[in-house]
């Protein structure tokens, strides 16, 4: 669906995580064995393991390690460069985590659905729409939020590093929305949306906005990279407009074409690579 706009450090003498005694054969940050040690079986850097498990980004994982919130085989660790093996037990803040192959799912979120993994009020969540086993859904989480009555493109994944970057303002990931209002949107209000609308948390503006199909002035498409809570709804409310329908039709180049509301599909490899390029992971 078109919205009127084009989509645009080291530890000495520690037991290794597998439980063997003596120093662990470790590599320096370049990956080469140190002091003539024999190379140990290749593991995964701890911060990467945490990110791969979908907990957070690698940088945030470093903070968790530094604060002593990470244990490997029951032992609290504070070193960034240790490696863990698939047989090791890793806990973050008392909860065991595990890695699994990365999954990337595009969901066409319908209205009246909560963008969260669990809802204390037992309302329907986006995770309820995924026809996967509980084990397969365990590490998945939605990237960002769409409010309950907003529909459209939503990415669900267990790739913590990619998710963190997509949501970080530094990368200015594009989002394209279709907005329908009860009353006609006047041309000067289009200009106001571009220049900025004063909200309680500061000036909010869109990157582009245009009518979808004149002479209809009740429907506009807008592009933005900001992502404050209910930002679009609050901007239109500030202009005196009631939104009757709000749909995200494009997120970082992903669209819901061919995916009915409430349904989902896995991303194609080229789509994953495109996302990674956008946030400088490739």
Catalytically active residues are 147
Please write down the HEC assignment for all residues of 86-126: CCCCEEECCEEECCCCCCEEEEEECCCCECCCCCCCCCCEH
DSSP one-letter string for the chain: ---SS------SSPPPTTS-SS----B-TTSPBSTTPPPPPP-EEHHHHHHHTTSS-HHHHHHHHHTT-EEETTEE---SS-EE-TTS-EEETTEEE------EEEEEEPSS-B-SS--TT---BGGGG--S-HHHHTT-EESS---TT-EEEEEEES-HHHHHHHHSGGG---EEEEEEESSPPPHHHHHHHHH-EEETTEEE--SEEEESSTT--SEEEEEE----TTHHHHHHHHTT--EEEEEEEEETTB--TT--TT-EEEPPHHHHHHHHHHTT--
């Amino acid at each position: 669906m078109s919205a009127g706009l084009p989509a645009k450090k080291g530890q000495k003498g520690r037991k290794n995580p597998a439980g063997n005694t003596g120093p662990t054969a470790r590599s320096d940050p370049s990956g080469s064995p140190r002091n003539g040690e024999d190379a140990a079986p290749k593991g995964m850097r701890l911060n990467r393991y945490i990110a791969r498990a979908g907990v957070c980004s690698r940088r945030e994982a470093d903070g968790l390690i530094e604060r002593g919130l990470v244990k490997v085989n029951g032992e609290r660790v504070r070193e960034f460069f240790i490696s863990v093996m698939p047989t090791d037990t890793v806990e973050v803040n008392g909860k065991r985590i595990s890695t699994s192959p990365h999954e990337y799912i595009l969901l066409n979120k319908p209205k009246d659905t909560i963008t969260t993994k669990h809802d204390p009020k037992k309302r329907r969540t986006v995770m309820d729409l995924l026809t996967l086993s509980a084990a397969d859904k365990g590490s998945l989480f939605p990237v960002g939020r769409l409010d309950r009555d907003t529909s459209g493109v939503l990415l669900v994944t267990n790739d913590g590093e990619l998710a963190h970057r997509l949501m970080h303002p530094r990368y200015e990931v594009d989002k394209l929305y279709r907005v329908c209002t009860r009353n006609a949107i006047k041309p000067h209000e289009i200009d106001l949306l571009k220049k900025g609308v004063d909200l309680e948390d500061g000036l909010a503006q869109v990157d582009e906005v245009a009518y979808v199909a004149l002479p209809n002035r009740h429907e506009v498409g807008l592009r933005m990279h900001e992502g404050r809570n209910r930002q679009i709804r609050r901007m239109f409310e500030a202009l005196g407009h009631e939104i009757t329908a709000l749909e995200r039709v494009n997120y970082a180049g992903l669209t819901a074409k061919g995916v009915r509301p409430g349904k989902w599909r896995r991303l194609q490899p080229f789509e994953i690579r495109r996302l990674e390029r956008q946030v400088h992971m490739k």
